[in-house]
Structure 1
């Protein structure tokens, strides 16, 4: 009977023509990441609200582990498969953001307890959501106890500011924003940091680290760091922050064993293009992709983002350009979800949260209904269901000022994305040399299926809008006699079930 079942499955596959994506094929490039600043997301436990002041943008606002646990279903329903959390270690006063470490082994009491964090990780895993922790090994907080320890004076570099950003030695040894800079070349410091990083994995079962301030730490440290932490847990993911505009400079750190990077060059282009109309899309998109393919062994795992906690929010950029932020966000999000790479959505983007420079870009989350929540959910579903968007190559089919059409193709899966970044409706024709064969374009957001006409496929896009199409064979355009093959599939299944029951009855 097992052989019969397998044969039936093979027959069903042949009849339906649907590609089967095996679970074992799932990699980090299939993930979609939601980025949370723990203190500013959700207050689930008021008992840990020490010195909370919602009127002070530089004070704690009450977000905690319990708040995130309470919102895990909300995050999953939007289609996110991983959560990146800002640092959770114990910070010195006013360190609501997590980047002023006071104790590398303790949990920040404003966020909850170690047990509550472990519960958060487990509850996320129960929902097939991975947890990525932000980890800082470049510096400590301004008042770290080691600064007053005579035995640890050589654990820090000299108190010198970073004055020459083109001088790598100064970048690595100078104090970023005056924060005490750790000396990773000191064997004791190195051992401490490596042991600490491995301990958090062993203790909490987190799935990855977002590595803060990568370019301020020597590459030889990162090489050992990557080897050590990956020895603790299979498929452990490292995504680094190399805040630099030169793609080659960023990519050089991939040689250390860090798997991925938040793609600042992508961010620079995406926010420039979509925060205002009439910007050219196609040639820059193709250029980014070709560049990344030449620089990285796996460019599909680079982190695409349009918002983060260090820059003014995309909404503010749109407002400054006198644009409707929701309209602009929809275009930018469509681009981010359909371009090669892992989409990273900063909390609040789904409600079009406004915000200027730090700390205004870190406002407390407001869980109100917003049309962008369902829009992001749809984008998440499309990305999950179509491997072309996670594994496929990119080809720009149409490239005009303000309008573009591009395809993502992986095996038999083909997704077409059309974008109108102008203030006028646009008609776009895809000719036979762009899309061959008799196919039809099934829209994701709209309801009008586009069939091939004499001149090709005619796409009409309203101003400042985009559409995602699934390219499928159009059986209506063939001269062959079609057959409702799903009836045949159902019939075969019914025959199989009846046969099984007959055989079973004979053996009773």
Structure 2
């Protein structure tokens, strides 16, 4: 719980005066209406409008007649300061303004509510809702740590935390303006999609450090230290202009304890009781374990993620509808292309399935990736849509994509210097379990992310290991995600610094930085070498149709060498069709060079005569043997 600051009170009063048309003495009774507007022509006609204001729950609500729109009811709750309006917006409804009349014992209020026309999405409109697929490469960034393009919003009056770059766990000032200035850098890397960690307002105390965005205090507003809602919309549009999709990070498991709800929750069960459940047990396996005890399962889904993050109760129908609509509102408003849903196994899983089904019915081309931090393939596969036949409990999540954490660990094990020749076996065995996934090509694959130790630090800062793993990331099945800074060989800072050690600033993103790593002249020779390698593979992948959609055949690793071929399906058409080229990948994790007898791979190499090294661009005849240097991955385009 927290008290409103005087500034917040003044802002709310000013907003009410601007937006309300008073008929009585209570001209300042409505502080919030969420969502603030809606659209006609939606797939789902139901609309719930949250109205918040002093004692508004005692009002009787009437709506002036409006063709195609019906007020079905108004629900008052335990807090007298809320009303939840239930409406039906039918197919015949047209854009315009609804008029609500709040009849209150102390005076009446009139409020208008806008219904907007929907603008087309996709290539025929202004972009948006395009989804993301195995043809994409996603770049994950934390806006606070990428670039600071507007120093005037580093500290914002009325918000609890300002920027302090001397503290790795504080805000550093990165913002939308900084990202917008560097879209050219991102485009040149060969990326096709950007994933931002959450951009919602996180007005938490400096002691907590909510630069990461996962402790929302207002779900309809971006954090002012990143910019405004309008600036976020403009950033998405600018990304679309460059052919870059945008993925928004959302969290329906929890909010920050300074969310405006928490000062005055609508109902006693809006969040789960911390006194009863405490902090979550993080035992994600209990979400799928057929033998899990009730106490362990509820400890996972009802406990708070941390003490500063109240756990939302999606069994509350008013809250569930609020969250569904918030998602749709952001898709329509910002025209994003996909969502990464945080902590997917932690909320009520039936609600999450309902949410995914709702979103995908509204936007059929959209894509959702659920963060399911599971350690085994069966546990991971459970969360992908279509697994219900094998799950035992008939559960279908409805989400197309999940995060491939088992493969993340296999990437590290495959190339870590200490594993030597034995490493590739881990990768082979993990991929050999793909039969459990309904759609393995839709898994989001990655070497690391904002929650893990950076990949390079996992492999003793061995650049050869990073390059080998990156080559596999770009060529195996799935939708690859690259964590910001990987293209420069960024490693962890001092582990004693906590999460901030994984989330260093991009050098050159701030005025006054000693060098600018966004430019070739500002990078070290090592950084340029790694970036050139990454760029060669990523830009090539943009048009490598056989990697996007082709089949995969791999061979048991021998002597530390793992070989696989991406090849067209027999009935495929087009450049990557049955008569098109294949891609052979040979990963040598051994400390010595290897010479491969290509006769072993004849089933996939027959008919091919030439191999082109994707990284160097050099071509050579495909003979009887192939030399693979030590600690190297060769990516070879094969042609006839």
Scaled by the length of structure 2, what TM-score is found?
Answer: 0.66
Structure 1 partner of 2:480: 343
Task: Name stretches of at least 5 consecutive residues in structure 1 with no aligned partner.
Answer: 1-22, 474-508
The answer to whether 1:127 aligns with 2:242 is: yes
Quote how far apart the aligned CAs of 1:282 are. 5.0
Structure 2 partner of 1:487: none
- Deviating more after overlay: 73-82 vs 441-450: 441-450
Distance of 1:398 and 1:472 partners within structure 2: 24
Aligned mate of 1:71, from 162, 176, 182: 182
Distance of 2:581 and 2:301 partners within structure 1: 45
Structure 2 partner of 1:56: 167
Structure 1 partner of 2:112: none
Deviations 1:324-381 (A, max 9, x none): 5322211110111111011100001111111145121011112523222221211112
Structure 1 partner of 2:279: 161
Give me the CA root mean square deviation.
2.1
SS at match of 1:28: coil
- Listed as ranges, the matches of 1:425-436 within 5 Å are 425-431=593-599, 433-434=602-603, 435-436=605-606
Structure 1 partner of 2:611: 441
Aligned mate of 2:552, from 390, 394, 415: 394
The answer to whether 1:44 aligns with 2:44 is: no
Distance of 1:281 and 1:396 partners within structure 2: 15
Runs of 4+ residues over 4 Å off in structure 1:
23-27
SS at match of 2:627: strand
Quote how far apart the aligned CAs of 1:157 are. 0.8
Aligned mate of 2:406, from 261, 265, 280: 265
SS at match of 2:566: strand
Distance of 2:131 and 2:212 partners within structure 1: 32
- Deviating more after overlay: 410-419 vs 340-349: 410-419
Q: Cα–Cα, structure 1 residues 398 and 248, in superposed 2: closer, same or farther, change >3 Å? A: closer
- Listed as ranges, the matches of 1:467-486 within 5 Å are 467-473=634-640
The answer to whether 1:372 aligns with 2:530 is: yes
Quote how far apart the aligned CAs of 1:295 are. 2.4
The answer to whether 1:171 aligns with 2:308 is: no
SS at match of 2:432: helix
Check conservation: 1:278, 1:401, Cα contact below 8 A.
no
- Deviating more after overlay: 391-400 vs 37-46: 391-400
Aligned mate of 1:84, from 172, 176, 195: 195
Quote how far apart the aligned CAs of 1:286 are. 3.8
- Listed as ranges, the matches of 1:240-319 within 5 Å are 240-254=370-384, 255-276=396-417, 278-280=420-422, 283-292=425-434, 294-319=435-460
Quote how far apart the aligned CAs of 1:452 are. 4.4
Structure 2 partner of 1:10: none
The answer to whether 1:100 aligns with 2:215 is: yes
Quote how far apart the aligned CAs of 1:279 are. 4.1
Distance of 1:156 and 1:409 partners within structure 2: 50
Distance of 1:105 and 1:183 partners within structure 2: 19
Distance of 2:312 and 2:622 partners within structure 1: 63
SS at match of 2:345: helix
- Listed as ranges, the matches of 1:109-148 within 5 Å are 109-148=224-263
Task: Name stretches of at least 5 consecutive residues in structure 2 with no aligned partner.
Answer: 1-122, 125-129, 156-161, 287-295, 385-395, 508-515, 518-522, 569-577
Quote how far apart the aligned CAs of 1:283 are. 4.2
Structure 1 partner of 2:628: 461
Distance of 2:606 and 2:552 partners within structure 1: 17
- Deviating more after overlay: 438-447 vs 350-359: 438-447
Quote how far apart the aligned CAs of 1:448 are. 5.3
Structure 2 partner of 1:493: none
Structure 2 partner of 1:228: 358
Structure 2 partner of 1:34: 139
Check conservation: 1:446, 1:467, Cα contact below 8 A.
no
Check conservation: 1:146, 1:152, Cα contact below 8 A.
no
Structure 1 partner of 2:510: none
SS at match of 2:638: strand
SS at match of 1:359: helix
Check conservation: 1:214, 1:242, Cα contact below 8 A.
yes
Q: Cα–Cα, structure 1 residues 78 and 452, in superposed 2: closer, same or farther, change >3 Å? A: closer
Scaled by the length of structure 1, what TM-score is found?
Answer: 0.83
- Listed as ranges, the matches of 1:175-190 within 5 Å are 175-178=304-307, 179-190=309-320
Quote how far apart the aligned CAs of 1:27 are. 6.2
Quote how far apart the aligned CAs of 1:181 are. 0.4
Check conservation: 2:199, 2:222, Cα contact below 8 A.
yes
SS at match of 1:152: coil
Structure 1 partner of 2:52: none
Check conservation: 2:191, 2:539, Cα contact below 8 A.
no
Quote how far apart the aligned CAs of 1:446 are. 3.9
Quote how far apart the aligned CAs of 1:298 are. 1.9
Structure 2 partner of 1:6: none
Quote how far apart the aligned CAs of 1:101 are. 0.8
Check conservation: 2:163, 2:170, Cα contact below 8 A.
yes
Structure 2 partner of 1:420: 588
Structure 1 partner of 2:468: 331
